[in-house]
Amino acid sequence: MRFDFVHCHGSGNDFPLIDARGIKLSATDWAIVARALADRGGPVGGDGLLLLREGNGDAAFSMAMYNADGSEAETCLNGLRCVARAGFAALGVDAARVRLKTSVAAVARAGDVAPGVYGVRETAGPVSLDAAAWPMRGHARVIEAPVAELGSPRAFTAVAMPNPHLVAFVDAVDEAELVRVGEVCEAALDWLPNRANVSFVEVRGADLFVRTHERGVGLTDSCGSAMGASVYAACLTGRLPWDVETVVFNKGGLVRASASRQASVTIVGNATWEYAGSVAVDLATGCASGLVVTERFPDEIAAWERVR
């Protein structure tokens, strides 16, 4: 089966994005497509797969995001900006409500984040502190407290965006330790059956630096919902003020973000097109082949590089 797609990124979180409106595939088949296209050793590569889908109710369109391992995420805020850009173009609008797997978000064209960098504003929520609902068995709320099952003495805050996050504030990010804790979460099917994203966060004055081990992906240069969860956790624990925009850095770039006491997070960031093309995926073998690049966007790539 052949798919047209755009390869894009939000703050360095990169994906193939397919306009899936009218494409009828099962979730199992989309998982196969996601694994094939996200494979860094294959013809495309990415942190996962984004789908633009039809809207319903008051949502103009909807999105799905499949991780590199084929699991479907509840949300992906870096990916949402990219899907929003595609949805705006498809429908001729500059603002919309978007249906995600388990929630609804508001998106709007934000003007360029920097010269030549397409910007989107997104507001997601409500954020939840109900860890038992993830489920995170044996825990009701975790706010700046150790989680014994992780085997780490660090204090974590558990935040659902609605996808689950464990956030720890550190003086300096130790990537080896972060990966170790993240891998514990990947394997903890008894007490954490839906796993969790784990972020180590440095407070740098009024800004944050976030490094994330993303479930189904591993150590990633950027995770939008992790940046949102980190801002919310920073406000909740008194490290940042509510309703004040801060810059959140990661290895992939940056976004501007704020959190409210009403349990919403707003992020302004890029949605950058890298190239457009088509590729074939054999659903029987799970292999991608025959990549054809139809258009490249070097000006967008260069504009983003000037921001990083």
Positive or negative torsion for Cα 291, 217, 270, 211 = negative
Catalytic residue among 76, 82, 185, 235: 76
Rounded Cα distance between 108 and 231, Å, is 20
CA 246 to chain centre: 18
Stretch (H or E) spanning 308: none
Kind of pairing between the strands at 207-214 and 246-250: parallel
Catalytic residue among 8, 82, 185, 223: 223
Rounded Cα distance between 20 and 27, Å, is 12
CB 165 within 8 A of CB 158: yes
CB 259 within 8 A of CB 231: yes
Burial class (CB in 10 A: 0-12, 13-18, 19+), 178: buried
**Is 82 an annotated catalytic residue?**
no
Kind of pairing between the strands at 13-19 and 2-10: antiparallel
Q: What stretches of the chain show up as alpha helix (H) in DSSP?
A: 27-38, 77-91, 175-187, 224-236, 298-307
Q: What stretches of 212-288 show up as alpha helix (H) in DSSP?
A: 224-236
**Is 287 an annotated catalytic residue?**
no
Three-state DSSP state, 115: coil
Three-state DSSP state, 154: coil
CB 269 within 8 A of CB 255: yes
Which residues belong to the active site?
A: 76, 223
